[in-house]
Amino acid sequence: AVPDWRLDDVMVSYAARNGGIGAHCDNYDVFLLQGAGERRWEIEETPRPAADEVLVPGLSVRVLREFAPDRSWVLGAGDCLYVPPRFPHRGTSLDQACMTYSVGYRAPKAADLVREFAQLAARGCADDDFFAEPAALLGDGRADVPGELSAGALDALEAMLRDRLSAALDNREALRAWLCEQATARKRAPLQFEGDHAELDGPALVDELARAPQRDGVVQLRAQLADLDLWRAEGVAFAFARAAALGAASASLFVDGERFNLAG
């Protein structure tokens, strides 16, 4: 099963007969749940790397120029089709009013993780942490070619970079907590609600519930919120990690990229 923390969004597509977006690839797991009407889905049985993705030019959506389906299914109301990442597929409406729910599960992008990790490693560097020319490079012969970046200087710069990155990687608890924060971080702007509403102090409520006995804590929490209509913000990811997985003394709850330590 795909874990809950990877749930990205649910999109609803409406099409008249013979309508559809065209053949395309997704970079994530997608479940296609048929609502009203019927839709024919065609799929290639071999995933297509992004490097081999040739698109129809001039469109605002990524439609494949070449598509040779191997399998096809007709989905009626309540049917569901799972499409793994990078498998080309195309849906075509068979009814005048066809509605399909597309449930997408995001996957962290390696380039994004590496970019954010570099910032994490940088935060661990002191303000006065500068490159220092090794003493072996400061001899009389150093000025013979003043414009040269010598092999020794490059070795020293590389060693400094490797050392700072390794320091961030070797702090296992901090690294794993950071990974959980990245996995649950908000990817979209929060929805704006009209009318009278108030934002709750989430961390205070979590802290109150963690300190109180479980049964009484739930009663107190319900009493505090009895006169409020509560809405879970769309796009907010919730996930927890056990103490052993984090290498920490206790489990943690991660909400919207924030960590809350759990007692016990």
Q: What is the pLDDT of residues 46-65, one digit of tens each?
A: 999 999 999 999 988 899 99
What is the sign of the dihedral through the CA atoms of 141, 146, 149 and 155?
positive
Alpha-carbon distance values, 262 to 203, 210, 221, 250 (Å): 12, 7, 17, 6
Calpha distance 69→83 (Å, rounded) = 13
Q: Please, are residues 247 and 236 in contact by the beta-carbon 8 Å criterion?
A: no
Q: How many residues does the chain have?
A: 264
* pLDDT higher at 193 or 108: 108
- The backbone torsions φ and ψ at residue 29, rounded to the nearest 5 degrees and listed phi first, read -70, 140
Alpha-carbon distance values, 54 to 23, 24, 46, 65, 127 (Å): 11, 10, 15, 6, 47
* Model confidence at 230: pLDDT above 70: no
Which residues lie below 8 Å from residue 168, measured CB to CB, with a gap of 6+? 117, 120, 121, 124, 174, 175
Alpha-carbon distance values, 195 to 2, 124, 192, 226 (Å): 36, 43, 10, 19
Kindly state the helix (H) or strand (E) to which residue 29 belongs, with its residue range: strand 29-34
Calpha distance 74→3 (Å, rounded) = 27
Query: What number is the average pLDDT over the span 212-235?
Result: 55
Q: Please, are residues 235 and 190 in contact by the beta-carbon 8 Å criterion?
A: yes
Which residues lie below 8 Å from residue 244, measured CB to CB, with a gap of 6+? none
Which residues lie below 8 Å from residue 38, measured CB to CB, with a gap of 6+? 74, 75, 76, 77, 93, 94, 95, 98
Question: In the predicted model, what is the mean pLDDT of the chain?
Answer: 83
* pLDDT higher at 261 or 139: 261
* Model confidence at 140: pLDDT above 80: no
The residue with tokens 């009203």 is: 36
**What percent of the chain has pLDDT above 90?**
52
Query: What number is the average pLDDT over the span 164-173?
Result: 93
